[in-house]
Amino acid sequence: MRILYIHGFKSTGNALKAQILKKKFENVFSPTIPIVPNEAILFLEAEMVENKFDLVIGSSLGGFFALALHKKFGAKTILINPSLTPWESLKNQVGNHKHFESTETFDWKAEYNQQLKMIDYQSENQVVKENKLFFFLSTDDELLDHSKIPDLFPNAHIKYFDKAGHQFTAFSRTIFDINKILQDA
């Protein structure tokens, strides 16, 4: 079973969630995706075609990309505290940032938010297979409001976690669920 993990904003392919996944599962690919959204989605789509992942997991901004991949490829997908409208949640992030896991910096440009909006627009009419869509949501996410997700995806699988925050510190508690999702036909 092959897993693709997509990190969030300011994170890298060496994020703690990726490290946990690699300890628990054999075939986990967790690249540091390009900062430029158009480059990131093209890179991820190419990886999906080449590797035919059984499960895609995306956290925050990575959840946005994971949902776009789900719409195009129909793979089982777990969205962890996803930013479904990142062009809104990142509009005040224009400027220079440092990655959480390294000393490297990057610039987030206003045009990147427009690229995210266009990626969403391009995938708008694609099919969501809600039976293959799983949400792991923090009840105390301090950055994103997940209250509309049950209405937007009424037939998706949604699991709530207390005291996990936006960083989703409850991730190690999801390994059983991830394993079950992988094993279910």
- Band (79; pLDDT cuts 50, 70, 90): very high
Residue 86: C-alpha distances to residues 41, 123, 140, 180 (Å)? 14, 14, 19, 29
| CA torsion, ordered 157, 160, 165, 171, to nearest 10 deg | -70
Name the residue type at position 57: I
Superfamily of domain 2-183 in CATH is: Alpha/Beta hydrolase fold, catalytic domain (3.40.50.1820)
In this predicted model, what pLDDT tens digit does every residue of 81-136 receive, in sequence order? 999 999 999 999 999 999 888 888 999 999 999 999 999 999 888 889 999 999 99
Task: Give the start-to-end residue ranges of the domains of the chain.
Answer: 2-183
